[in-house]
Structure 1
């Protein structure tokens, strides 16, 4: 019985070699890579597979082309490897899934923010609250920007770069989901409920009460999910 032999493209072999050379420091961060001609001579191949490999490296964020010619090795941080999620169509199922994700992440982020926030974070939260308050009585304004700002500041105030990057990756979908949910809550009473929930979260964070912040955020997001008809919400 013959075992299949994997025959890799020349460009794939070049790509693997270049990644290994970047990883082991032979081509360190902020250094300029050899020219296509020099790389072709180094690997004993034509320039075509070199160009293919360089294109993949650039698309992966490992190198960048700079004005004036040449490819340069970028300094790569782990959080930058999380790819941006781009979704143009949001259905109700996606909204439910996103709000479930938010319930998992933002409850703990609120608890962390209560312990770690700095003065500037409180000022930004106060501004977001004030902006959302203006939307309570104005039915023509959706209010998603002020709402998004409030939650974004809390994530930032957790001072965990992975939490911030994760939420940034779904920011486009998050803003669409917020607009969707707020349009469902255009009645003044419902808007006031959302504002009061935000205020409760703010007060808990301001008082540095992590458990109260966690509970307030969880209650807020579960209420949002219930209003949108998500029957998967666990009872309080």
Structure 2
């Protein structure tokens, strides 16, 4: 049932009505939706408000307007990950909450990786080789920027092989946002901290190669706990300056 719209927050309510019509299946992917004039009559609002709402929906990728053909509902399978990414970038963020999201993605990806029944021996070998390359570059560099890039690359490889595209997209967003704080924590860390990071990655790699999920997960958990501790220490020192 379409509800007549009050005059306050008209555009927002038009958006809400169209969203509801898509959610309840009235408008399905590929369907042609009513014209501006028809929507104006349905919602009982001015045509300019409907036009503005449709522009917003098109910008979000929910609908597509085709001159002379009409307006159609798009396949919005990618919309959820875009919304999550923009929420991270534009919303109120607590850095350590985002650290928790990062850790949850890495942990879940490792669990999913070991639960995959469709991964071939060749794929597993490629996974291990990619992890080894990242680890070797981490150990062999004196550059913090290279070290951090390969650290992220190591974990991104695991996420990639979990075959969860939403995890990958959100992880990329988190990486961009968290880069400077992670870099500060590594820059302020003593050499033995970097040795610990090397050893943690080596252990994760070893148990992935040996296909021992609980051991790999145990070392990943240790690694994530140490990252959290190191970054909190860096935050504390930075705030005292």
TM-score (norm: length of structure 2): 0.70
Partner residue, 1:130: 136
Structure 1 residues 144 and 115, CA gap change in structure 2 (3 angstroms): same
Contact 1:29 1:74 in 2 (8 A): yes
Greater length-normalized contact order (CA 8 Å, ≥ 6 residues apart): 1
1:145 to 2:138 alignment: no
Deviation at 1:51, TM superposition (A): 1.6
Tell me which of 211, 218, 222 is aligned to 1:219: 222
For 1:123 and 1:146, the matched residues in 2 are separated by: 14
For 1:157 and 1:99, the matched residues in 2 are separated by: 21
Partner residue, 2:239: none
1:76 to 2:76 alignment: yes
- Greater mean deviation of Cα atoms: 144-153 or 59-68: 59-68
Contact 1:132 1:195 in 2 (8 A): yes
Partner residue, 2:197: 194
Partner residue, 2:182: 178
Structure 1: state its 5+ residue gaps: 1-5, 232-236
Q: How do 1:100-119 and structure 2 match up within 5 A? A: 100-116=100-116, 118-119=123-124
For 1:143 and 1:58, the matched residues in 2 are separated by: 41
Deviation at 1:36, TM superposition (A): 3.0
Partner residue, 2:163: 159
For 1:21 and 1:43, the matched residues in 2 are separated by: 12
For 1:68 and 1:212, the matched residues in 2 are separated by: 61
Structure 2: state its 5+ residue gaps: 1-5, 235-241
Secondary structure, counterpart of 1:143 in structure 2: helix
Structure 1 residues 134 and 34, CA gap change in structure 2 (3 angstroms): farther
- Greater mean deviation of Cα atoms: 206-215 or 55-64: 55-64
Secondary structure, counterpart of 1:72 in structure 2: strand
For 1:230 and 1:186, the matched residues in 2 are separated by: 12
Secondary structure, counterpart of 2:89 in structure 1: coil
Deviation per residue, 1:103-159 (Å, 9 max, x gap): 444334323323436434333323322332332xx2464522111111112223233
